[in-house]
Chains A and B, each alone.
Chain A
Amino acid sequence: MLKSLFWLNLALISGLLLGTYSYAQELSYSVTISDHRFQPSELSVPAGKKFKLVVKNLDPTAEEFESHDLKREKLIPGRSEATLILGPLKPGTYKFVGEFHERTAKGSLVVK
């Protein structure tokens, strides 16, 4: 019992370490918010890979990056940036909006 717990732990820890390691070499993309619009509003990313999405908010006001498709809701304070770790995703289009300015702040990730 104790022994199997030990192995389970070891597996978990090495899994975590591996995850962090592989993530360090992962892809990174970025999107900018200015005048409550995403730039670019469409971004292509590869399917089946984990990647980083850095959202830079150039506006003086906060925005909330919200995506039902990606299951994310993240606040990005004015004039700062936030990182999202996404994927691996299946091919398709994943929409996102800026919740605080939903009329103009719209974008999508096209996963191929």
Chain B
Amino acid sequence: MLATAVIVLREVLEAALVVSIVLAATRGVSGRGLWIGYGVAAGTLGAVIVAAFADVLAAAASGLGQEIFNATVLFAAVAMLGWHNVWMSRHGREMAANLSAVGAAVRSGAKPLYVLSAVVAMAVLREGSELVLFLYGIASASPGQTIELAVGFATGLSAGLVLAAALYLGLLRVPAKHLFIVTGWLIVLLAAGMAAQASAYLVQADILPSLGETVWDTSRLLPDESILGRLMHTLVGYTARPYGIQIGFYAVTLLVLLVLMRLFASDRRRRSAL
């Protein structure tokens, strides 16, 4: 039961943290609950579909379909997170001054909520399909232990939700005028971490060179499989033993996003000065 709970927690954590960051980033936006709900629902549905066709995916691209699929989903999420942040750097300033203005921007269809909705869907999809297969596996292998399985699942899921809620409530304590700066940084780090992970998948699919098999090894200090390791993996992209190319992708994503955000923000300032 405990083993089930731990595996469920590991799989659920990333998606749950992404949802809390997105919730904080959309504070004051009307209809955000619905959009995020759509994202979770679409992601869950997608996870079940991917799980049902897992054997097809595994066999695709001479046995490397999974890696390529994961990398694609991650890169798509990175692009959407980047798009959101660029949008926010254009419109965020006036929003920070007045939270309700965000609601107005959304009603006029300006804030791209569907982008964040898609990010949530992709986070749920990726981790969810593994979870579906795992649960299906133990349910069909040991039909007598349904209650034990359900308890394990509920325990792991609630632990994940508690951690995510803690992050969200922590973010709500940030004063409104700094909130979007904080969530903006969180999203930049999230995106950089995802890009780094995507590059690792491509190394494993033999598409990209590793540029150094293990640049550092902190697996004794903070192992990837530990809950804190997972937490840091999602929030800042922590990896105990990164490939060289992961560090490259991380740095480039970080840099590109920050430059784009700066560019679009100053573009706006220049225009308003005219």
A residues neighboring B (CB under 8 Å): 15, 19-20, 23, 54, 60-64, 68, 71-72, 74-85, 99-100, 102
Contacts and interface: CB of A to CB of B under 8 A. Distances in A.
Contact of A77 (B7, B54, B138): B54
Given A60-B140, A75-B66, A102-B3, A82 B134 contact: no
Nearest to A12: B209
B58 A81 contact: yes
5 contacts: A19-B206, A74-B66, A74-B67, A78-B137, A82-B58
Nearest to B239: A71
A69 B35 CA distance: 40
Contacts, number: 71
Contact of B133 (A72, A75, A102): A75
Interface in B126-168: 130, 133-134, 136-138, 140-141
A68 B220 CA distance: 12
B138 A82 contact: no
Contacts of B205: 85
B267 interface: no
A80 B57 CA distance: 11
Nearest to A85: B206
Contacts of B136: 61-62
Contacts of B64: 83, 85
Contact of B134 (A72, A81, A100): A100
Most buried by A among B7, B55, B223: B55
A4 to B, nearest CB: 19
Contacts of B27: none
A23 B206 contact: yes
A100 B138 contact: yes
A90 to B, nearest CB: 9
Nearest to A19: B206
A82 B66 contact: yes
B62 interface: yes
A13 to B, nearest CB: 13
Nearest to A86: B204
A67 B219 CA distance: 13
B225 interface: yes
A72 B224 CA distance: 12
A62 B66 contact: no
A77 B133 contact: yes
A63 B130 CA distance: 9
Contacts of B58: 75-77, 80-82
A75 B62 CA distance: 15
A60 to B, nearest CB: 7
A77 B130 contact: no
Contact of A62 (B59, B134, B219): B134
A5 to B, nearest CB: 16
